[in-house]
Chain A
């Protein structure tokens, strides 16, 4: 690791002030991705501003419009939440498929979406469920949040405070994990709400994306069979040790069907 100054603010205002005052400050949430990349000296910062001591950033609330999850809520809490399991079981399933138990005890939803790893699970949850990301200064729609490889719409110093998930009529999560890292090779979140379908894919490109052809077919007939014959082009899909583009394209179709079946499961 390169040297940095550590801060442990007790309030959001204090965190903002410390980030603003630093030359190249970074917020630290769960640290499950950030700390290993710092260990590798692949990322560095002048100041590390730890958000873990700030009250009010963690927690799960059910309200009329849906579910609000605080940015510092651990994956394990989402996985275990009775509210989430009742309202959006697919989201609990997603949280329960991230990393491993130890990682889920520490990693946070806010940290995950800000890091925006191309193979992370939460981005598909955000986009596939049509969530909105609330920051210390605005609310950002899911479709606008993820902008590229490890890139989001967040401005310098902007902090995610919570994520609002509308409650769909149905949603399903299906993940095909990498044999080594357990990150998604391809994972799909699909949801049906008021006749509208959202289907988001993570792991397959630089960042999470929707598949309009599949959404249209599912809007007409929300069944796995409706996806028969809809292929995702392999051009532009990721290629790595675990999957080439053609296999990934195939997996998008398979995982989309499985997500739909999961959504339809009683």
Chain B
């Protein structure tokens, strides 16, 4: 069995030798031209003139294109793939993110106004600078919390409001009643900071138009190439059979590389106009500004407790950022991926939430690793933490009293979703032992007596991973079918190529999908190669996002391999003159049970393609495809505990320890799993302590445009991690696997935040807006000190 083993990654050597193949590395027979963009320097302005005259004749310039040219060409817009209706039943007040400004108004810094295509990068930049654009600045608002204030400028005045949509979920009356009868009510204002994925590979696109054969090719840093092909039918109107989308090696995605960003169709448009392949390589500044941002919810939460600290109900009111426009998947974040998960790992009888999506003059928001769940977990857990302190109950003890007991699974939350399997008390007990909780509390008390501030943070939660099934996700708003696809092609020599509709950009599918396939096919893992990321080679795919690949594409590999085995067994049975049921397949051989009669897998494969001596109804060839629609989402769960030290002088936070105990069901490769958890944790820690897509609240200027201002964690900022697990099988897929890609990211912001608050509670600090930078912690302590005087 390969599944369950820490098989070293089969894709590693090319990366380690510098032979990775990213979009920027690709060369073609023709010289590749460069694209450069003119972007709005204003958060909100009328564009009164775009004069390209000087740029057009400059050296090396091949094309200069504006929004007027886009309109004249009759091109379209980005498709919202997850539209959600307003609770009134009306459509949301959707304004899709434009590719290039066509209506004379720019609504956030960085919006594209014009494009230049030139022979080299310097010439493209020179010509872009030579384009004269006149702007008339308009009042702007970049702050989500202010979006619905009466005097706030409107981003889209035609709608008469900055509200995109309102949705309510849960048990309103029961929740109000719980708050009314509670022994104790905790209230916290819990904004979630605006962050961005900041993959180390910047976004990059290349477009090519083969005019002779009328075929188009796009190379893209994207996680879902078949969905990109769909996007192009709406943007440039290119039929799917005419377009090949290739997503080669991609340097990190995290959900952010899922969208039809403006530069993607513009680059292909530039190639069509200039009759040359055209590439754009994003600079870090362009990416920190133009990559979708994430989170940015402003939430007020109230939680009701009884005398014993049992949670009676929880109520949230949230303003959820959209930014200046609706990015393609964003409506799902404030809805499908928010309300569904509000119960976390707790048995909460009444939950109610109201979400208002709002426009601001800021970069559009969309999914980033966790998408909706980091906010949700942070909000609920901040209430629990403060509630425990206010009631004088140990925070771990209070959580333990509220966990969903193992015997209640499958467990339907008050919001209606059903967690198929899990055992939160077991996770909590393992976490308690792993961190030696009582010793930590003793240490905390001893340090506090010396004037040193140590805090212990914790969270306990469920995730909703593995989007599908198709029907359930359609019901939650998805316009794309949430299944996935794999083909298993056995070559006549018995070696195997697997084609999968997922996309690996760090997840290690070449290893893990091969582990699954090798087990099902009874073959050596080295006899299998994987192909992903090419719409001309892979039949179909929905892509890698939302911790879904294993339970959809991985299961499609599993299913297609089983179909191959079933067919091969029929051929082998014919050749061995036995019944198919009498055959065993192992170690590359079909053996008749209880005998030494056998045939190699390769012999059967060869016969499948080349022998006329076969069952009459058995078609030639040995290749099967599965379009796998899972029976359910998967519901991984986890308990995290951390220790923070806050420097009483500088107020800098040292994250000293971090433990995570995960339930991700069946594990394919524990080494890969741990890597996913480590990486996710550090992104969540970054959100908690340092990351912020900050805007100047007055001018709307973007303040975090380089890695000198946008802080992502360095190696020195984080500890090594202590991981443990307690697995319960997922019921929605035969592998029993649950998605593991987001668990770290979604748990860490709340865990670290609770650690900091726990460290400072005795000083009167009750809440600090993330990121909890030294500046903000110092201010919070100062304010608390003043309040106590």
Q: Is there contact, CB below 8 Å, between A242 and B125?
A: no
Q: Is there contact, CB below 8 Å, between B690 and A179?
A: yes
Q: Is there contact, CB below 8 Å, between B650 and A180?
A: no
* Most chain A CB within a 10 A radius of its CB, from B129, B712, B774: B774
Interface residues as binary, A165-206 with B (CB distance below 8 Å gives 1, 0 otherwise): 000000000001011110100000000000000000000000
* Most chain A CB within a 10 A radius of its CB, from B703, B709, B717, B779: B709
With a cutoff of 8 Å between Cβ atoms, the chain A residues found around residue B711 in the complex are: 178-180
Q: Is B122 an interface residue (CB 8 A)?
A: yes
A41–B285 Cα gap in the complex (Å)? Answer: 13
Interface residue from A40, A241, A258 paired with B704 (Cβ < 8 Å)? A241
Given contacts A179-B690, A241-B694, contact A41 B775 (CB under 8 A): no
Q: Is there contact, CB below 8 Å, between A250 and B778?
A: yes
Interface residues as binary, B667-709 with A (CB distance below 8 Å gives 1, 0 otherwise): 0000000000000000000000110101000000001100111
With a cutoff of 8 Å between Cβ atoms, the chain A residues found around residue B285 in the complex are: 40
A residues 220-258 with Cβ under 8 Å of B? 240-244, 246-247, 250-251, 254, 257-258
Q: Is A1 an interface residue (CB 8 A)?
A: yes
Interface residue from B709, B710, B779 paired with A247 (Cβ < 8 Å)? B779
B635 to chain A minimum Cβ distance, whole angstroms, is 35
Interface residue from B707, B709, B712, B774 paired with A241 (Cβ < 8 Å)? B709
Which label, helix, strand, loop or mixed, suits the secondary structure of the A interface? loop
A166–B708 Cα gap in the complex (Å)? Answer: 33
A155–B125 Cα gap in the complex (Å)? Answer: 33
Q: What residue of chain B has the Cβ atom nearest to residue A3's Cβ?
A: B122
* Most chain A CB within a 10 A radius of its CB, from B650, B704, B707, B710: B650
A250–B776 Cα gap in the complex (Å)? Answer: 13
Q: Is there contact, CB below 8 Å, between B775 and A242?
A: yes
Q: Is there contact, CB below 8 Å, between A181 and B774?
A: no
Given contacts A241-B694, A241-B704, A251-B650, contact A180 B779 (CB under 8 A): no
Q: Is there contact, CB below 8 Å, between A241 and B779?
A: no
Q: Is there contact, CB below 8 Å, between B775 and A247?
A: yes
A251–B774 Cα gap in the complex (Å)? Answer: 10
B residues 703-726 with Cβ under 8 Å of A? 703-704, 707-712, 717
With a cutoff of 8 Å between Cβ atoms, the chain A residues found around residue B773 in the complex are: 179, 242
Given contacts A179-B773, A241-B692, contact A247 B778 (CB under 8 A): yes
Given contacts A241-B703, A241-B704, A251-B650, contact A180 B690 (CB under 8 A): yes
Interface residue from A180, A183, A243, A258 paired with B775 (Cβ < 8 Å)? A243
Q: How large is the interface on A (under 10, 10 to 19, 20 to 34, 35 or more residues)?
A: 20 to 34
Q: How large is the interface on B (under 10, 10 to 19, 20 to 34, 35 or more residues)?
A: 20 to 34
A99 to chain B minimum Cβ distance, whole angstroms, is 11
Given contacts A176-B650, A241-B692, A251-B650, contact A183 B708 (CB under 8 A): yes
Q: What residue of chain B has the Cβ atom nearest to residue A39's Cβ?
A: B283
Given contacts A179-B773, A181-B707, A181-B709, contact A254 B690 (CB under 8 A): no
Given contacts A180-B690, A247-B774, contact A1 B709 (CB under 8 A): no
Q: Is there contact, CB below 8 Å, between B690 and A244?
A: no
Q: Is there contact, CB below 8 Å, between B778 and A180?
A: no
Q: Is B450 an interface residue (CB 8 A)?
A: no
A161 to chain B minimum Cβ distance, whole angstroms, is 30
A residues 10-33 with Cβ under 8 Å of B? none
Q: Is B649 an interface residue (CB 8 A)?
A: yes
B170 to chain A minimum Cβ distance, whole angstroms, is 37
Interface residues as binary, A89-124 with B (CB distance below 8 Å gives 1, 0 otherwise): 000000000000000000000000000000000000
B273 to chain A minimum Cβ distance, whole angstroms, is 26
With a cutoff of 8 Å between Cβ atoms, the chain A residues found around residue B129 in the complex are: 41
* Most chain B CB within a 10 A radius of its CB, from A176, A178, A241, A250: A241
Given contacts A180-B690, A241-B694, contact A41 B649 (CB under 8 A): no
B477 to chain A minimum Cβ distance, whole angstroms, is 36
With a cutoff of 8 Å between Cβ atoms, the chain B residues found around residue A3 in the complex are: 122
Q: Is there contact, CB below 8 Å, between A180 and B122?
A: no
A213–B180 Cα gap in the complex (Å)? Answer: 58
Interface residue from B650, B707, B775 paired with A254 (Cβ < 8 Å)? B650
A103 to chain B minimum Cβ distance, whole angstroms, is 12
Q: What residue of chain A has the Cβ atom nearest to residue B126's Cβ?
A: A2
With a cutoff of 8 Å between Cβ atoms, the chain B residues found around residue A246 in the complex are: 779
Q: What residue of chain B has the Cβ atom nearest to residue A180's Cβ?
A: B711
With a cutoff of 8 Å between Cβ atoms, the chain B residues found around residue A179 in the complex are: 689-690, 711, 717, 773
Q: What residue of chain A has the Cβ atom nearest to residue B710's Cβ?
A: A180
With a cutoff of 8 Å between Cβ atoms, the chain A residues found around residue B709 in the complex are: 180-181, 241
Q: Is there contact, CB below 8 Å, between A180 and B125?
A: no
A243–B652 Cα gap in the complex (Å)? Answer: 12
With a cutoff of 8 Å between Cβ atoms, the chain A residues found around residue B689 in the complex are: 179
With a cutoff of 8 Å between Cβ atoms, the chain A residues found around residue B694 in the complex are: 241
B781 to chain A minimum Cβ distance, whole angstroms, is 10
Q: Is there contact, CB below 8 Å, between B775 and A181?
A: no
A243–B651 Cα gap in the complex (Å)? Answer: 12
Interface residues as binary, B125-145 with A (CB distance below 8 Å gives 1, 0 otherwise): 100010000000000000000
Q: What residue of chain A has the Cβ atom nearest to residue B779's Cβ?
A: A247
A242–B710 Cα gap in the complex (Å)? Answer: 10
A173 to chain B minimum Cβ distance, whole angstroms, is 15
Interface residues as binary, B767-785 with A (CB distance below 8 Å gives 1, 0 otherwise): 0000001110011000000
Interface of B toward A, CB cutoff 8 Å? 122, 125, 129, 285, 649-650, 652, 689-690, 692, 694, 703-704, 707-712, 717, 773-775, 778-779
Starting from the known contacts A246-B779, A247-B774, A251-B650, 10 additional A-B residue pairs (CB-CB under 8 Å) come to A40-B285, A176-B652, A178-B708, A178-B711, A180-B708, A241-B709, A242-B773, A243-B775, A247-B779, A254-B650
Q: List 21 A-B contacts (CB under 8 A).
A: A41-B125, A178-B708, A178-B711, A180-B690, A180-B707, A180-B708, A180-B709, A181-B708, A240-B703, A241-B694, A241-B703, A241-B709, A242-B773, A242-B775, A244-B775, A246-B779, A247-B774, A250-B778, A251-B650, A254-B650, A258-B649
The 7 closest A-B pairs by CB, nearest first: A180-B711, A181-B708, A179-B711, A254-B649, A179-B690, A247-B775, A243-B775
